Structures are given as structure tokens and as C-alpha cells.
Amino acid sequence: MIDSREKSHGLSFRAERLDVMNETECLAAAKLIAEAMCFDSAWAYIFGKGNTEALEWLIYRNLWVHKGETIVYRSTARKSKEAKNEIIGTCTISPPAKKMASTWEKIKLGLFKLPFLFGFDSLHRLMEVDSFFQKHSVYARNQQTANLPMYNLHMMAVRKELRGKGYGSKIIKDCLEHQCGDGLPGRNFSVALNTQTDRNVVFYQRLGFTILQSNIFCGGPAEGGFRSTIMEYKPS
């Protein structure tokens, strides 16, 4: 349990690590993230625009890889319209030098089933996009501030009806303040993220992130491409 509480627009919430949750709660978190991301350019290219079923299936398995790193935010307000303890948002912070899941770990998570459930084309596009992200992430890490230990922020989402009301900013600020820097002297670290939407770039810039690199992914003729922007935050 993380003893972190905030109040925003009359809704108080607490932060909790995903590794204390049961399977039903993990599924609820995956559904929330999938609904927030299913129209993002990269996922729309891989699974088709609005395909929450495939994305939810994949995210649920990714959450098991990042269980100790994923923070869920729950409502705690008794008089709120939101049910008490209901998940209202998520954010994953992977530590510096986080290793990629091994082939064996992916097999145990059932990722080999993806092409049989959602098509071999989806698997091909997923590997294509993943390779693109990996290539440019390595380059961006080499460009980051003072070669500091770099956390990776991803799978950040807020429930649809609560977006645009300040909750996203509160969640990001909580992650940056309380979930990063353990065991590091002072505030000597940075946080990186990758986004494919222009509105997210503006959102993160308001929170102190700066652009490290912006690249264009070119898909097939019918699918088009998308812009991928890598951003960095350095505590002051």
C-alpha cells in the first residue's frame, strides 16, 4: 500500500500498487487502460481503431509483467458520485535498467496465443511497432539529460468521465513525486515516456516534460503512419 492521498474536484483518492490486487481488479485496470488507448494511432494501426477487446487482452498480460510497477488510483470519498474504492486511474513507472520480458516469460503469459485470437497480421504489426519504439527509445536514452538513471512512464489512463477535470495531472504528479527515485541520492533521475497524440504532448509539457525526439512511423499504404514523441522529465 502506498500512503499517498490527493483531493481534486471533491474526489479524494489513494494510490496502491497493482501487486496487492486480485485477478478481477487487474482485469478492471486493463479495461480502463484499453478504453483510454484504443483510439491512439499506434494501437489503432496494430489492432484496428476502437478494438478494445484485443487491446484489453494484451494490456492485461502486460500488467502481470509490470505488477510491482503499476499504480492504481482508487476513490476514497464517501460522498462522491464515484463508488468508494473504485479504480479511477492508473500509471506504470518502470525503474531504470528494467529488463524486457524474456521469451519464456512471454510464453507463460500466453502471448503466443495472440495471432490465433486476433490474427497473424496483428502480431506482425505489433512486432513492427515494437521494433520501431525500441530503436528510437535507445537513441533517446543517449540524448537524455546528464545520462541520469531513467524511469519509464507508461500505461497512464483516467476513466473517461473524469478526463479533462485535473485527475490526470494529479496522478502524474503523484507518480513523479512519490514513485520515483527510491534509493537514489537527492532527485538525480529522469522520467521518459512515449506518446502518439499531439494533445498528450501539450498535456505533458504543462507538467514539465520536454521533447527529446519526434519520429514518424510509416505503416502500409492503407493504414498510414503516426508521429511518436519521446519526452523527458527532470526533477528541479
pLDDT attached to residue 142: 67
**H runs (alpha helix) in 51-197:** 52-65, 103-108, 114-118, 120-143, 167-178
Which pLDDT score is estimated for 87?
87
DSSP per-residue string spanning 136-157: HHHHHHHHSGGG--EEEEEEEE
Task: Look up cell 495531472; give the residue.
Answer: 169
Whole-number pLDDT of residue 182: 63
Q: How high is the pLDDT of residue 103? A: 63
The count of residues in the chain is: 236
**Contact by Cβ (8 Å): 212, 233:** no
Name the residue with cell 500466453: 110
Contacts of range 139-145, beta carbons closer than 8 Å, 24 or more positions apart: 139/213, 140/192, 140/212, 140/213, 140/230, 140/232, 141/192, 143/212, 143/213, 144/190, 144/192, 144/212, 144/232, 145/190, 145/232, 145/234
Q: Please give the C-alpha separations between residue 94 and each of 111, 143, 166, 174, in angstroms, as whole numbers.
A: 20, 19, 24, 15
Q: How far apart are CA 122 and CA 46, in angstroms?
A: 5
Look at residue 157 in the predicted model and tell me its pLDDT. 94
Sheet with 225-233: strands ordered across:
2-8, 11-17, 70-75, 87-94, 150-158, 190-195, 225-233, 210-218
Superfamily of domain 2-233: Gcn5-related N-acetyltransferase (GNAT) (3.40.630.30)
- How do residues 189-226 score in pLDDT, each as one tens digit? 889 999 988 899 999 999 999 998 888 888 654 556 78
CA 201 to chain CA centroid, Å, is 14
DSSP symbol at 185: S
pTM confidence score: 0.84
Per-residue pLDDT, 15 = 84
Confidence at residue 2, expressed as pLDDT on a 0 to 100 scale? 46
Cβ atoms of 165 and 9 closer than 8 Å: yes
Q: Which residue positions in the chain have pLDDT lower than 70?
A: 1-11, 77-85, 97, 99-104, 107-108, 139-146, 181-187, 219-224
pLDDT of residue 194: 92
